[in-house]
Protein backbone atom coordinates (compact mmCIF):
# COMPACT_ATOMS: atom_id res chain seq x y z
CA UNK A 1 0.00 0.00 0.00
CA UNK A 2 1.02 3.59 -0.62
CA UNK A 3 -1.02 5.07 2.23
CA UNK A 4 -0.20 8.70 2.98
CA UNK A 5 2.42 8.83 0.22
CA UNK A 6 2.34 12.16 -1.60
CA UNK A 7 2.92 11.52 -5.29
CA UNK A 8 3.35 14.29 -7.85
CA UNK A 9 2.37 12.89 -11.26
CA UNK A 10 3.63 14.79 -14.30
CA UNK A 11 1.95 14.05 -17.62
CA UNK A 12 3.67 15.05 -20.86
CA UNK A 13 2.37 15.05 -24.41
CA UNK A 14 1.82 11.72 -26.13
CA UNK A 15 -0.87 9.22 -26.95
CA UNK A 16 0.09 7.25 -23.82
CA UNK A 17 -1.52 9.99 -21.70
CA UNK A 18 -4.60 7.79 -21.43
CA UNK A 19 -2.52 5.32 -19.41
CA UNK A 20 -1.79 8.05 -16.88
CA UNK A 21 -5.47 8.27 -16.02
CA UNK A 22 -5.44 4.58 -15.09
CA UNK A 23 -2.15 5.03 -13.22
CA UNK A 24 -3.72 7.85 -11.22
CA UNK A 25 -6.68 5.64 -10.36
CA UNK A 26 -4.39 2.80 -9.22
CA UNK A 27 -2.26 5.10 -7.07
CA UNK A 28 -5.35 6.52 -5.40
CA UNK A 29 -6.63 2.99 -4.83
CA UNK A 30 -3.37 2.21 -3.01
CA UNK A 31 -4.04 5.10 -0.64
CA UNK A 32 -1.66 7.68 -2.15
CA UNK A 33 -2.47 11.37 -2.35
CA UNK A 34 -1.79 12.39 -5.94
CA UNK A 35 -1.49 15.79 -7.51
CA UNK A 36 -1.10 16.24 -11.24
CA UNK A 37 0.85 18.62 -13.45
CA UNK A 38 0.59 18.59 -17.23
CA UNK A 39 2.43 20.09 -20.15
CA UNK A 40 0.41 22.02 -22.70
CA UNK A 41 1.05 19.22 -25.21
CA UNK A 42 -0.51 16.70 -22.81
CA UNK A 43 -3.74 18.70 -22.67
CA UNK A 44 -4.11 18.21 -26.42
CA UNK A 45 -4.66 14.49 -25.78
CA UNK A 46 -6.67 14.51 -22.52
CA UNK A 47 -8.35 17.47 -20.89
CA UNK A 48 -7.07 18.45 -17.47
CA UNK A 49 -10.62 18.16 -16.10
CA UNK A 50 -10.29 14.36 -16.31
CA UNK A 51 -7.22 14.36 -14.08
CA UNK A 52 -8.79 16.93 -11.78
CA UNK A 53 -11.87 14.77 -11.29
CA UNK A 54 -9.83 11.65 -10.51
CA UNK A 55 -7.24 13.32 -8.26
CA UNK A 56 -9.63 15.62 -6.41
CA UNK A 57 -7.16 18.50 -6.79
CA UNK A 58 -6.60 21.31 -9.23
CA UNK A 59 -4.30 20.38 -12.12
CA UNK A 60 -1.36 22.68 -12.80
CA UNK A 61 -0.13 23.43 -16.32
CA UNK A 62 1.53 26.85 -16.22
CA UNK A 63 4.94 27.64 -14.79
CA UNK A 64 4.01 31.28 -14.26
CA UNK A 65 0.56 30.89 -12.76
CA UNK A 66 -0.64 34.30 -11.60
CA UNK A 67 -2.85 32.72 -8.95
CA UNK A 68 -0.06 30.91 -7.14
CA UNK A 69 3.26 32.30 -8.31
CA UNK A 70 3.35 34.84 -5.48
CA UNK A 71 3.93 31.79 -3.26
CA UNK A 72 6.38 30.15 -5.71
CA UNK A 73 3.89 27.46 -6.65
CA UNK A 74 6.37 25.20 -8.45
CA UNK A 75 8.68 25.18 -5.41
CA UNK A 76 5.75 24.39 -3.13
CA UNK A 77 4.74 21.45 -5.34
CA UNK A 78 8.31 20.15 -5.45
CA UNK A 79 8.62 20.32 -1.67
CA UNK A 80 5.18 18.77 -1.14
CA UNK A 81 5.99 15.57 -3.02
CA UNK A 82 7.44 12.40 -1.51
CA UNK A 83 7.86 11.03 -5.04
CA UNK A 84 7.86 12.66 -8.47
CA UNK A 85 6.62 10.44 -11.31
CA UNK A 86 6.74 11.53 -14.97
CA UNK A 87 4.49 9.24 -17.01
CA UNK A 88 4.49 9.36 -19.92
CA UNK A 89 7.88 11.01 -20.37
CA UNK A 90 8.42 12.11 -23.97
CA UNK A 91 11.75 12.31 -25.76
CA UNK A 92 11.53 16.10 -25.58
CA UNK A 93 10.97 16.05 -21.82
CA UNK A 94 13.87 13.63 -21.29
CA UNK A 95 16.15 15.89 -23.34
CA UNK A 96 15.22 18.97 -21.33
CA UNK A 97 15.68 17.17 -18.04
CA UNK A 98 19.05 15.73 -19.04
CA UNK A 99 20.43 19.12 -19.99
CA UNK A 100 18.94 21.22 -17.23
CA UNK A 101 16.43 23.20 -19.29
CA UNK A 102 13.48 24.62 -17.38
CA UNK A 103 11.07 26.26 -19.80
CA UNK A 104 7.86 24.65 -18.55
CA UNK A 105 6.36 23.51 -15.27
CA UNK A 106 7.42 19.86 -15.54
CA UNK A 107 11.09 20.51 -16.36
CA UNK A 108 11.28 23.20 -13.66
CA UNK A 109 9.77 20.87 -11.08
CA UNK A 110 12.39 18.28 -11.95
CA UNK A 111 15.20 20.71 -11.15
CA UNK A 112 13.46 21.83 -7.95
CA UNK A 113 12.58 18.36 -6.65
CA UNK A 114 14.61 16.83 -3.84
CA UNK A 115 12.63 13.57 -3.70
CA UNK A 116 13.02 10.33 -5.72
CA UNK A 117 12.13 10.82 -9.40
CA UNK A 118 10.71 8.11 -11.67
CA UNK A 119 10.31 8.30 -15.44
CA UNK A 120 8.16 6.07 -17.65
CA UNK A 121 9.22 6.97 -21.21
CA UNK A 122 6.81 6.65 -24.16
CA UNK A 123 7.66 7.31 -27.80
CA UNK A 124 8.10 5.75 -31.23
CA UNK A 125 10.62 2.90 -31.17
CA UNK A 126 13.00 4.70 -33.55
CA UNK A 127 12.98 7.75 -31.28
CA UNK A 128 13.62 5.55 -28.23
CA UNK A 129 16.57 3.83 -29.88
CA UNK A 130 18.06 7.05 -31.25
CA UNK A 131 21.56 7.65 -29.79
CA UNK A 132 20.49 11.08 -28.49
CA UNK A 133 17.60 9.63 -26.49
CA UNK A 134 19.71 6.78 -25.13
CA UNK A 135 22.43 9.24 -24.14
CA UNK A 136 19.86 11.41 -22.34
CA UNK A 137 18.50 8.41 -20.45
CA UNK A 138 22.01 7.48 -19.30
CA UNK A 139 22.62 11.04 -18.13
CA UNK A 140 19.40 10.96 -16.13
CA UNK A 141 20.23 7.59 -14.60
CA UNK A 142 23.62 8.96 -13.59
CA UNK A 143 21.70 11.79 -11.91
CA UNK A 144 19.83 9.20 -9.86
CA UNK A 145 16.62 8.96 -11.89
CA UNK A 146 14.64 5.71 -11.56
CA UNK A 147 13.82 4.36 -15.02
CA UNK A 148 10.66 2.33 -15.62
CA UNK A 149 11.61 0.95 -18.99
CA UNK A 150 9.25 1.14 -21.97
CA UNK A 151 7.78 -2.06 -23.33
CA UNK A 152 7.74 -3.67 -26.75
CA UNK A 153 4.60 -3.96 -28.84
CA UNK A 154 2.43 -2.33 -31.46
CA UNK A 155 2.51 1.44 -31.31
CA UNK A 156 -0.05 4.09 -32.21
CA UNK A 157 1.74 4.70 -35.51
CA UNK A 158 1.23 1.05 -36.46
CA UNK A 159 4.89 0.11 -36.10
CA UNK A 160 6.19 -2.49 -33.65
CA UNK A 161 9.12 -2.06 -31.28
CA UNK A 162 10.26 -0.90 -27.84
CA UNK A 163 8.78 2.45 -26.86
CA UNK A 164 5.33 1.82 -25.39
CA UNK A 165 4.92 3.25 -21.92
CA UNK A 166 4.95 0.53 -19.29
CA UNK A 167 1.47 -0.55 -18.30
CA UNK A 168 -0.04 1.39 -15.36
CA UNK A 169 -0.06 -1.78 -13.24
CA UNK A 170 3.68 -2.18 -13.85
CA UNK A 171 4.41 1.43 -12.88
CA UNK A 172 2.25 1.21 -9.77
CA UNK A 173 3.80 -2.09 -8.69
CA UNK A 174 7.31 -0.65 -9.13
CA UNK A 175 6.43 2.25 -6.85
CA UNK A 176 4.91 -0.10 -4.28
CA UNK A 177 8.01 -2.31 -4.40
CA UNK A 178 10.42 0.61 -3.99
CA UNK A 179 8.47 2.68 -1.49
CA UNK A 180 7.23 -0.06 0.80
CA UNK A 181 10.35 -2.23 0.95
CA UNK A 182 10.40 -4.03 4.34
CA UNK A 183 12.78 -2.47 6.88
CA UNK A 184 14.74 -5.72 7.01
CA UNK A 185 18.04 -3.93 7.68
CA UNK A 186 16.68 -1.34 10.10
CA UNK A 187 19.47 0.30 12.14
CA UNK A 188 22.14 -2.04 10.75
CA UNK A 189 25.44 -0.61 9.51
CA UNK A 190 26.21 -1.63 5.94
CA UNK A 191 29.47 -0.88 4.11
CA UNK A 192 29.45 -1.24 0.32
CA UNK A 193 32.29 -0.87 -2.17
CA UNK A 194 31.48 0.04 -5.76
CA UNK A 195 32.97 1.07 -9.07
CA UNK A 196 36.39 0.48 -10.60
CA UNK A 197 39.79 1.22 -9.10
CA UNK A 198 42.53 2.89 -11.17
CA UNK A 199 46.23 2.06 -10.82
CA UNK A 200 48.46 4.81 -12.30
CA UNK A 201 51.30 3.95 -14.69
CA UNK A 202 52.39 7.56 -15.07
CA UNK A 203 50.70 10.98 -14.73
CA UNK A 204 48.62 10.22 -17.86
CA UNK A 205 47.91 6.48 -18.03
CA UNK A 206 46.44 3.93 -15.66
CA UNK A 207 45.23 0.32 -15.42
CA UNK A 208 41.50 -0.14 -14.79
CA UNK A 209 38.46 -2.20 -15.82
CA UNK A 210 34.99 -1.71 -17.27
CA UNK A 211 32.95 -1.53 -14.08
CA UNK A 212 30.41 1.33 -14.14
CA UNK A 213 29.53 1.14 -10.45
CA UNK A 214 25.79 0.86 -11.23
CA UNK A 215 25.25 -2.34 -9.24
CA UNK A 216 27.02 -1.04 -6.14
CA UNK A 217 25.19 2.28 -6.20
CA UNK A 218 21.86 0.49 -6.69
CA UNK A 219 22.67 -1.71 -3.68
CA UNK A 220 23.43 1.37 -1.59
CA UNK A 221 20.01 2.81 -2.43
CA UNK A 222 18.27 -0.53 -1.80
CA UNK A 223 20.00 -0.94 1.56
CA UNK A 224 18.87 2.56 2.53
CA UNK A 225 15.29 1.67 1.58
CA UNK A 226 15.61 -1.39 3.83
CA UNK A 227 16.50 0.90 6.75
CA UNK A 228 20.30 0.48 6.86
CA UNK A 229 22.90 3.11 7.71
CA UNK A 230 24.99 2.95 4.55
CA UNK A 231 28.63 3.78 3.91
CA UNK A 232 29.45 3.72 0.19
CA UNK A 233 33.14 3.55 -0.68
CA UNK A 234 33.38 4.28 -4.38
CA UNK A 235 36.09 3.91 -6.94
CA UNK A 236 35.87 5.74 -10.24
CA UNK A 237 32.36 6.10 -11.72
CA UNK A 238 30.26 8.71 -13.51
CA UNK A 239 27.39 8.25 -11.05
CA UNK A 240 25.91 10.74 -8.62
CA UNK A 241 26.44 9.63 -4.99
CA UNK A 242 23.21 8.61 -3.23
CA UNK A 243 21.85 11.13 -0.77
CA UNK A 244 21.93 10.49 2.99
CA UNK A 245 24.78 7.98 3.00
CA UNK A 246 28.36 8.25 4.21
CA UNK A 247 30.15 8.59 0.87
CA UNK A 248 33.89 8.02 0.49
CA UNK A 249 35.62 8.61 -2.86
CA UNK A 250 38.83 6.71 -3.66
CA UNK A 251 40.85 5.86 -6.74
CA UNK A 252 43.34 3.05 -6.16
CA UNK A 253 42.94 -0.39 -4.59
CA UNK A 254 45.19 0.59 -1.68
CA UNK A 255 43.08 3.69 -1.03
CA UNK A 256 39.92 1.57 -1.08
CA UNK A 257 41.49 -0.93 1.32
CA UNK A 258 42.38 1.89 3.72
CA UNK A 259 38.90 3.45 3.45
CA UNK A 260 37.21 0.12 4.16
CA UNK A 261 39.20 -0.46 7.31
CA UNK A 262 38.60 3.10 8.47
CA UNK A 263 34.85 2.38 8.28
CA UNK A 264 34.62 -1.31 9.18
CA UNK A 265 34.22 -0.86 12.94
CA UNK A 266 30.65 -1.63 14.01
CA UNK A 267 29.86 -2.81 10.47
CA UNK A 268 27.15 -5.48 10.43
CA UNK A 269 27.19 -6.29 6.70
CA UNK A 270 29.97 -5.75 4.17
CA UNK A 271 29.17 -6.00 0.44
CA UNK A 272 32.21 -5.98 -1.84
CA UNK A 273 30.74 -4.95 -5.18
CA UNK A 274 33.73 -2.95 -6.43
CA UNK A 275 35.85 -4.28 -9.28
CA UNK A 276 39.19 -3.92 -7.52
CA UNK A 277 42.37 -4.22 -9.57
CA UNK A 278 44.25 -7.38 -8.65
CA UNK A 279 47.63 -5.84 -9.47
CA UNK A 280 49.31 -2.42 -9.59
CA UNK A 281 52.55 -1.26 -11.21
CA UNK A 282 55.63 -1.59 -9.00
CA UNK A 283 56.82 1.79 -10.29
CA UNK A 284 54.62 4.72 -11.24
CA UNK A 285 56.55 7.04 -13.52
CA UNK A 286 56.82 10.66 -12.45
CA UNK A 287 56.74 11.71 -16.09
CA UNK A 288 54.74 10.51 -19.08
CA UNK A 289 56.20 7.31 -20.53
CA UNK A 290 57.44 8.07 -24.05
CA UNK A 291 56.86 5.77 -27.00
CA UNK A 292 60.53 5.13 -27.72
CA UNK A 293 60.89 1.33 -27.60
CA UNK A 294 59.04 -1.25 -29.71
CA UNK A 295 58.13 -3.14 -26.54
CA UNK A 296 57.41 -2.10 -22.97
CA UNK A 297 57.59 -4.41 -19.98
CA UNK A 298 55.51 -3.64 -16.91
CA UNK A 299 56.23 -5.23 -13.54
CA UNK A 300 53.13 -5.60 -11.41
CA UNK A 301 52.63 -6.43 -7.76
CA UNK A 302 49.58 -7.84 -6.06
CA UNK A 303 47.10 -5.49 -4.44
CA UNK A 304 45.67 -6.20 -0.97
CA UNK A 305 42.62 -8.45 -1.00
CA UNK A 306 39.93 -6.30 0.60
CA UNK A 307 37.26 -8.98 0.70
CA UNK A 308 39.49 -11.65 2.21
CA UNK A 309 40.91 -9.22 4.78
CA UNK A 310 37.42 -8.19 5.92
CA UNK A 311 36.33 -11.83 6.24
CA UNK A 312 39.52 -12.61 8.21
CA UNK A 313 38.79 -10.08 10.96
CA UNK A 314 38.55 -11.48 14.48
CA UNK A 315 34.85 -10.63 14.51
CA UNK A 316 33.97 -10.18 10.84
CA UNK A 317 30.77 -8.65 9.55
CA UNK A 318 28.42 -10.70 7.40
CA UNK A 319 30.55 -10.61 4.25
CA UNK A 320 29.17 -10.71 0.71
CA UNK A 321 31.42 -10.92 -2.34
CA UNK A 322 30.87 -10.53 -6.06
CA UNK A 323 32.32 -12.54 -8.91
CA UNK A 324 32.20 -11.65 -12.61
CA UNK A 325 32.98 -14.68 -14.74
CA UNK A 326 33.30 -15.57 -18.42
CA UNK A 327 33.12 -19.35 -17.86
CA UNK A 328 32.48 -21.99 -15.17
CA UNK A 329 30.55 -19.44 -13.13
CA UNK A 330 29.38 -21.68 -10.29
CA UNK A 331 32.76 -23.42 -9.94
CA UNK A 332 34.71 -20.16 -9.62
CA UNK A 333 32.08 -18.50 -7.45
CA UNK A 334 31.94 -21.36 -4.94
CA UNK A 335 35.73 -21.57 -4.91
CA UNK A 336 35.92 -17.87 -4.03
CA UNK A 337 33.19 -18.30 -1.40
CA UNK A 338 35.19 -21.04 0.35
CA UNK A 339 38.70 -19.72 -0.20
CA UNK A 340 37.90 -16.27 1.19
CA UNK A 341 35.58 -17.55 3.93
CA UNK A 342 32.62 -15.47 2.75
CA UNK A 343 29.03 -15.74 3.92
CA UNK A 344 27.60 -15.20 0.44
CA UNK A 345 28.73 -14.49 -3.09
CA UNK A 346 26.78 -13.04 -6.00
CA UNK A 347 28.08 -14.10 -9.40
CA UNK A 348 27.24 -12.84 -12.87
CA UNK A 349 28.29 -13.55 -16.43
CA UNK A 350 30.28 -10.94 -18.34
CA UNK A 351 31.04 -10.71 -22.04
CA UNK A 352 27.59 -11.91 -23.09
CA UNK A 353 24.78 -10.21 -25.00
CA UNK A 354 22.92 -9.27 -21.81
CA UNK A 355 24.01 -8.11 -18.38
CA UNK A 356 27.47 -7.50 -16.98
CA UNK A 357 29.59 -4.36 -17.01
CA UNK A 358 28.26 -1.05 -18.35
CA UNK A 359 24.70 -2.38 -18.68
CA UNK A 360 21.49 -1.28 -17.00
CA UNK A 361 20.32 -4.90 -16.58
CA UNK A 362 21.92 -7.90 -14.94
CA UNK A 363 21.20 -11.35 -13.53
CA UNK A 364 22.83 -13.01 -10.54
CA UNK A 365 23.43 -16.49 -9.21
CA UNK A 366 23.83 -16.14 -5.45
CA UNK A 367 25.61 -18.85 -3.46
CA UNK A 368 26.13 -19.60 0.23
CA UNK A 369 27.53 -22.63 2.00
CA UNK A 370 24.49 -24.85 1.65
CA UNK A 371 22.32 -22.96 -0.80
CA UNK A 372 21.83 -21.11 -4.04
CA UNK A 373 19.30 -18.72 -5.55
CA UNK A 374 19.04 -17.38 -9.10
CA UNK A 375 17.89 -13.79 -9.59
CA UNK A 376 16.78 -13.49 -13.25
CA UNK A 377 17.68 -10.73 -15.68
CA UNK A 378 16.12 -7.41 -14.71
CA UNK A 379 17.14 -3.78 -14.27
CA UNK A 380 19.85 -3.27 -11.66
CA UNK A 381 17.58 -1.20 -9.41
CA UNK A 382 15.10 -4.05 -9.03
CA UNK A 383 17.91 -6.62 -8.88
CA UNK A 384 19.55 -4.70 -6.02
CA UNK A 385 16.30 -4.77 -4.03
CA UNK A 386 16.01 -8.52 -4.57
CA UNK A 387 19.62 -9.10 -3.49
CA UNK A 388 19.29 -6.89 -0.39
CA UNK A 389 16.18 -8.85 0.61
CA UNK A 390 18.10 -12.12 0.21
CA UNK A 391 21.10 -10.79 2.15
CA UNK A 392 18.77 -9.71 4.97
CA UNK A 393 17.24 -13.20 5.08
CA UNK A 394 20.62 -14.91 5.25
CA UNK A 395 21.97 -12.41 7.79
CA UNK A 396 18.91 -13.01 9.98
CA UNK A 397 19.35 -16.78 9.68
CA UNK A 398 23.01 -16.51 10.69
CA UNK A 399 22.35 -14.34 13.73
CA UNK A 400 19.79 -16.85 15.01
CA UNK A 401 22.25 -19.75 14.94
If pLDDT is split at 50, 70 and 90, which confidence band does 292 have? confident
Q: Long-range contacts of range 279-282, CB-CB < 8 Å, 24 or more positions apart? A: 279/199, 279/207, 279/303, 280/199, 280/207, 280/252, 280/253, 280/254, 281/199, 281/200, 281/201, 281/207
Question: Could you tell me the residue range of the domain that residue 334 belongs to?
Answer: 189-399
* End residue of a domain, out of 126, 144, 179: 179
* End residue of a domain, out of 145, 179, 213: 179
Q: Are 196 and 170 in the same domain? A: no
CATH number at residue 361: 3.40.50.10300
Using a 10 angstrom Cβ sphere, with 0-12 exposed, 13-18 middle and 19 or more buried, the burial of residue 369 is: exposed
Q: Are 260 and 386 in the same domain? A: yes
Q: Are 203 and 288 in the same domain? A: yes
Inside any domain, residue 184:
no
Q: Are 203 and 172 in the same domain? A: no
Q: Are 228 and 359 in the same domain? A: yes
Q: Which residues contact 366 (CB under 8 A, 6 or more apart)?
A: 344, 345, 346, 347, 372, 373, 374, 375, 387, 390
CATH number at residue 132: 3.40.50.1950
Q: Are 20 and 139 in the same domain? A: yes
If pLDDT is split at 50, 70 and 90, which confidence band does 73 have? low
pLDDT in tens, 235-275: 999 888 887 899 999 999 999 999 999 999 999 999 999 99
Inside any domain, residue 84:
yes
pLDDT in tens, 164-218: 999 999 999 999 988 888 889 999 999 999 999 999 999 999 999 989 999 999 9
Q: Are 202 and 138 in the same domain? A: no
Inside any domain, residue 366:
yes
Q: Are 148 and 269 in the same domain? A: no
Q: Are 286 and 393 in the same domain? A: yes
Global model pTM greater than 0.95:
no
Q: Are 66 and 18 in the same domain? A: yes
* End residue of a domain, out of 160, 179, 198: 179
Active site residue 157: yes
Q: Are 159 and 225 in the same domain? A: no
- Percent of the chain at pLDDT > 70 equals 97
Inside any domain, residue 168:
yes
Domain count, the chain: 2
Q: Are 11 and 107 in the same domain? A: yes
Set 115, 157, 172, 385: catalytic member: 157
Amino acid sequence: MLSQRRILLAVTGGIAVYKSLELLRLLKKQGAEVRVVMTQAATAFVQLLSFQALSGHAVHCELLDTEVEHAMGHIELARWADVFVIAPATANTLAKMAHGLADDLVSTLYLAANCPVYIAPAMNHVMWNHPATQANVKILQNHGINLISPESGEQACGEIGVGRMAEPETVCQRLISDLTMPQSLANLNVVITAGATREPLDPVRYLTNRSSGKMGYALALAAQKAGANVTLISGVTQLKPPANCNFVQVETAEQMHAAVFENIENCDIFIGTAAVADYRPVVCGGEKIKKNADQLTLTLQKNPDILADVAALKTPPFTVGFAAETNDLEHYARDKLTRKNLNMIAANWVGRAEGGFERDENALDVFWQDGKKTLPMTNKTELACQLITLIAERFDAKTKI
